[in-house]
Chains A and B, each alone.
Chain A
Amino acid sequence: MLGRTANGIFWMFRYLERAENTARLLEAGLRLALTRGHGEASVEWQSVLVTIGQDEDYRARHSDYQAAQVTNWILRDTDNPGSVANMIDYARSNARSVRTALTREVWEATNESWMVLRDLMAKPLKASNLGEVLSAIRRQTTLVRGAMDGTMLRNEIFNFARIGTFIERADNTARILDVKYYVLLPSVSLVGSSLDNAQWEMILRSVSGERAYRWLYAGTMDARGIANFLMLDERFPRSLAFCYSNLRSNMAGLAREYGNESHAHAVLRKAGGKLHDTEIDSIVEYGLHQFIGDFLNDNRAVADAIASDYRFTF
């Protein structure tokens, strides 16, 4: 396949994943902000914007963090290159440019998502229809993933799509941890305080992990458990470990199809190894924030190595 096509597929799925995760994070932030006074809500909104790397751009245009303003900025502002509306637009443009690599079902699901979300977000969003829009974002991106799963040949095209998905998902989960790491530090946590509980709940919600976590840990919440769950639990589909286990199998797929491993395989092994051969206690000991920072760098290095080995661009 063309290098440009691999690049287009990879980024199409990164954009879709990012759109979906942004909607989740926003939903969790909204819930937390609703239960706070205005001052604390502002802090919460800022932390959401910092997580998705949009705080600076936002502050260049707005002077305060009002819920309606922030949600419209994140979801539909065309001046915001990272808005969900733009992300869906990029994903669809990419799908158009790699049209020949997609099944009709995947293309139609992507095109339909673009049409549905464009119509839903045509006007400024109000509190009354926000819920509908957020669930539509999740539903539409799920539709594309479902079409992908049900109709695409398991070949290099599929591998590049999945690699894009999991690079992005690992990045997004790590960013949430990067911004919120302090509430997961055992030393400062006042066990059982309502502030911590709300923050922990927010973190879990932003990765749709609150129910799964309760299941596994029978309702008890603690910082160490949550950190372990989000980073090292291979059963949870948004954990770093899960993403890396999927990256490994898709990269193995490429190696099989191409008959050889590339430099990117070695970079991936190194990055993934840090998640594999470790326990949460040693991560905490090393420094949670430091570990997450390293991980984000490693994850970027994996993406860069793949782009260069598989000739995404000149």
Chain B
Amino acid sequence: MPSKAPTYDEMFDASGAVRPAYGAFRTWYDEQDPQWLKRQDAEAERFFRQTGITFNVYGENDGEERLIPFDMIPRIITAAEWRKLSRGIEQRVRALNAFLHDLYHRQEIVRSGRFPRRLLENNPAFLQQMVGFTPPGGIYTHIVGIDLVRTGPDDFMVLEDNARTPSGVSYMLENRETMMAMFPELFTRVPVRPVQDYPRRLARSLAACAPNMASKPPVVAVLTPGIYNSAYFEHAFLADQMGAELVEGSDLRVIDGRIAMRTTRGYQPVDVLYRRVDDEYLDPLTFNPNSALGVPGIMDAYRSGGITIANAPGTGIADDKAIYSFMPDIVEFYTGEKPLLNNVPTWRCAEPDSLQYVLDNLAELVVKEVHGSGGYGMLIGPTSSKKEIEAFARKLRAKPDNYIAQPTLALSTTPIFTKAGLAPRHVDLRPFVLMSPNGIDITPGGLTRVALKKGSLVVNSSQGGGTKDSWVLED
């Protein structure tokens, strides 16, 4: 094991006894015929392949569609644990939204000296086009996926605030569908809080953020880059479940200051655009002029109140990894409360003292690119060779402000199903949060990602991670 601290297993305590959260599940599990469970495990893959739940891996030549492996042992959270977690998540999301509003308006937090201005300067995630503009309802972060890791019974920490376009919610829903199809009687024995109404809540939450000139009821559409995008399945799935149109940039144009989609009956206005296209591709007139994925002129229409874009352009600044390290201060500044959820201790390599410490301790640390995601471009010290570490040190010295470093955490484990029985693997959790003027709505549970390789700490699906159904128990 790469980590020094003992690993917290969520199902078994140190003596091997089952923890209360997993009690009822374990009883059920022990009653099942192991051969039958193996067959069900094989069935799960066929089920996913047939429904076409696949994702495309960037950088694969043949554009082959892959399945994200599904593990059929649920990850279980008690009602009490969830209550605590959701309070922390709500506080964090409120702070993120307030932070964004402030950054694009008076920048009180900068004036107060709690946040350095240099992090905004030359930061491509900070959009000048958003300065002085308030999105409809004052909402920037309509959908957030907070990545949490656990290191002990009460120690949940935020690893990342995914405030741009968090993906994975379709897996949360399909994993539950699959579990209910495979083990219907299990759900009659263990009281699990449902997640299936997420699409309805998403539709309601987005509609509540419509601009003033919107149709009644507002027309919501999902903007996808198209079928070759790695998350296309999810885009189609959410549009389908919400009863919204799934549009591409080429379907849209600006007509009379509003965004309209080309339908078989002519152009019809869209009021809320749940876009799964990055900021820089959103409007070729404002950002990347070569983008064919966006809508020319959408930013002008947006700023004159013609449409709601979710999440708001420019929210990426809030989940920048360099800014992440300031989150405890940010939470306190806007809520006046101590943060309920901790950050992972983070060294900002842009600061000379921190850089030195990081360089001296590379073998123990995890180093990440400030703008990277998906587990690419990072160094995991304890599992890297001397050569890899030296190569990384050179990159780090050349461009220190491009990196942050964190200790290698002893991520908690949860068992997965293997042919030889249950085996512990490291997990994280991404709950999905909706925000509208009506409030913050957190779906109980979220997406559990699991590193399928023994000892591995990388849970990203692009790096061979899998997913699990995540249960929050009823009170």
Q: Which residues of A contact B (CB under 8 A)?
A: 1-4, 6, 93, 96-97, 99-100, 104, 107-108, 111-112, 115, 156, 258, 310-311, 314
Contact = CB atoms under 8 A, between A and B. Distances in A.
Contacts of B240: 99-100
Contacts of A99: 236-237, 240, 246
Nearest to B236: A99
B50 A112 contact: yes
Q: Name which of A4, A108, A111, A112 has the most chain B CB atoms within 10 A of its CB.
A: A4
Given A4-B250, A93-B227, A310 B49 contact: no
- State the majority secondary structure of interface residues on B: mixed
A88 B402 CA distance: 46
B250 A314 contact: yes
A3 B251 contact: yes
B264 A156 contact: yes
A2 B250 CA distance: 11
A6 B264 contact: yes
Contacts of A3: 251, 262-264
B250 A100 contact: no
Given A96-B232, A112-B50, A311 B227 contact: no
B428 interface: no
Given A2-B251, A4-B251, A97-B227, A311 B263 contact: yes
B300 interface: no
B455 interface: no
Nearest to B246: A100
B245 A108 contact: no
Contacts of B266: 311
A111 B264 contact: no
Interface string B447-462: 0000000000000000
Contacts of B236: 96, 99-100
Contact of A100 (B50, B52, B245): B245
Interface in B223-261: 226-227, 232, 236-237, 239-240, 245-248, 250-251, 261
9 contacts: A2-B262, A93-B227, A96-B232, A96-B236, A99-B236, A99-B240, A100-B245, A107-B52, A314-B262
A100 B227 CA distance: 12
B337 to A, nearest CB: 42
A14 B251 CA distance: 22
Nearest to B222: A100
Contacts of A93: 227
A3 B264 CA distance: 5
A111 B50 contact: yes
Given A1-B264, A4-B251, A100-B246, 18 more contacts: A1-B245, A1-B263, A2-B247, A2-B251, A2-B262, A3-B263, A4-B248, A96-B232, A96-B236, A97-B226, A97-B227, A99-B240, A99-B246, A104-B51, A108-B51, A111-B52, A112-B50, A311-B262
Contacts of A311: 262-264, 266
B250 A108 contact: no
B261 A2 contact: yes
B387 interface: no
Interface string B260-279: 01111110000000000000
Contacts of A4: 248, 250-251, 262
Interface string B26-63: 00000000000000000000000111100000000000
B250 to A, nearest CB: 7
A189 to B, nearest CB: 47
Q: Name which of A93, A100, A107 has the most chain B CB atoms within 10 A of its CB.
A: A100
Q: Name which of B237, B239, B250, B264 has the most chain A CB atoms within 10 A of its CB.
A: B264
Contacts of A156: 264
B247 A115 contact: no
Q: Name which of B52, B245, B246, B248 has the most chain A CB atoms within 10 A of its CB.
A: B52
Contacts of B245: 1-2, 100
Contacts of B232: 96
